A = this chain, B = another copy of it.
């Protein structure tokens, strides 16, 4: 399990620098100081590696953002926290962001494209729920358009730190985008992206995650996590999924226990959705 992490870390560095296709397994193993065979003990293929990377980071980032949006009580602060969290994530995982932008919907395999669409959809939902909460009826006609603009701001401005190593003032950036978003939300009268267009565009979202899939992920995490509180909480949550006995408030508490562990954020996000918290 440690070997797997080493490979992921070192490979990400190379992918960020040279791109996925242009990095050979040979180079990765050299960069890790292991043999080629050892690589294939951890990953069935090079593709499995990139999928693992994307899952790893997208889970973290997506659930992080969603958590911020759900837990910021002060509407006045919500947008600010949202933008700040996003750029903070991108900054923290700038190598990953580089890969993501470089490889953007690249040719690579079908599974990955679906995966990216899936995460994209999740982000869209989070943004939409934020918009509805902040502006309500006011943006009924323009909310999809607004969501698109917000995604646009995210992409456009993130290129700045991805490609130039300039120290950026994230607070100012967030503040600036809050103002822009508010302007667009309050005064836009000619939306381009309509509900209808969204319907046409969106692929049949490849199914919600099932209980079985959640259980599978929990099982994996239980094995790799050592911290006793998180581990025990996971075991209880596992039991709860198999046979519900605990009251919601306790489940919520258990989720709170694991929320901050870097390897549990995704599980906690999935369970929050599952239980509709």
Contact = CB atoms under 8 A, between A and B. Distances in A.
Interface of A: 18-19, 21-22, 101-102, 104-107, 145, 148-149, 151-153, 155-157, 160, 163-164, 166, 172-173, 175-177, 179-180, 183-184, 187-192, 197, 200-201
A166 B200 contact: yes
Nearest to A21: B21
Given A104-B101, A153-B152, A190 B200 contact: no
Contacts of A163: 105
Given A102-B105, A107-B102, A156 B152 contact: yes
A190 B175 contact: yes
A43 B41 CA distance: 43
A183 B187 contact: yes
Contacts of A105: 101-102, 163
Contact of A173 (B164, B176, B192): B192
A188 B180 contact: yes
Given A152-B153, A155-B155, A189 B200 contact: no
26 contacts: A19-B106, A21-B107, A22-B107, A101-B105, A102-B104, A102-B105, A102-B106, A102-B107, A104-B104, A148-B157, A149-B153, A149-B156, A152-B153, A152-B157, A155-B156, A156-B156, A164-B201, A166-B200, A166-B201, A172-B190, A173-B192, A176-B191, A176-B192, A180-B188, A183-B183, A184-B184
Contacts of A101: 104-105
A107 B18 contact: yes
Contacts of A160: 201
B190 A145 contact: no
Contact of A145 (B166, B176, B188): B176
Nearest to A152: B156
Contacts of A200: 164, 166
Contacts of A152: 152-153, 155-157
B190 A183 contact: no
Contacts of A172: 190, 192
A104 B155 CA distance: 13
Nearest to A23: B107
Leading 7 A-B pairs by shortest Cβ distance: A152-B156, A19-B107, A176-B192, A176-B190, A22-B107, A152-B152, A179-B190
